[in-house]
Each structure stands twice: as C-alpha cells, then as structure tokens.
Amino acid sequence: IPTGQLALTMIAFLFCGLVFYIGTSFEGDPLIAIIFLLIIIGTVIWKYVKIRRNIKISTVEALDNKEK
C-alpha cells in the first residue's frame, strides 16, 4: 500500500470517528452526522481522484519526454 493512500485512509477513519462523535453529541439527530459524513467522504474521494489524475498526467508527460 502506498503511504499516501494509507495516510488518506487514516484521515478518513479519523474523520468518521469525529463525525460519529459529533452525531452522538446532537441529541438523537443522526441526519447532521450523515450530512457531515457525506461531505467529508465526497471531499476525500474528490481530492484522491484529483491526485491520481495529476500523477497520470505527469507520467504521460515523462514518457513523452523520454521518446523525444
């Protein structure tokens, strides 16, 4: 497992724990926790996809330069 992915997973788990804690703090209102969770998961996935895309682009550029 790449360290970046591992760190991302750790952060995601921490956020999930935090969200769960926030969710239980609001008296019986899990909707807020669910919304927070969706926002966080969405952000993490979007950032991860963006990073992956950047890596792909840079590797393609490197290959192009090697051919020239």
Q: Cβ of 33: how many Cβ atoms within 10 Å? A: 19
pLDDT(11) > 70: yes
pLDDT(47) > 70: yes
Q: What is the pLDDT of residue 23?
A: 63
Q: Is the pTM of this model over 0.75?
A: no
What range defines the domain where residue 17 resides? Answer: 3-67
Question: What domain count does the chain have?
Answer: 1
Residue type, 21: Y
Query: Contacts for 21-25 with beta carbons within 8 Å, 24 or more apart?
Result: none
Which one has a higher pLDDT value, 16 or 2? 16
Average pLDDT over residues 38-59: 78
pLDDT(27) > 70: no
Separation between Cα atoms, residue 63 and residue 56, nearest integer Å: 11
**Which stretch of DSSP H or E encloses residue 50?**
helix 30-67
Average pLDDT over residues 19-27: 68
Distances, alpha carbon 10 to alpha carbons 23, 25, 34, 67, in Å: 20, 22, 19, 39
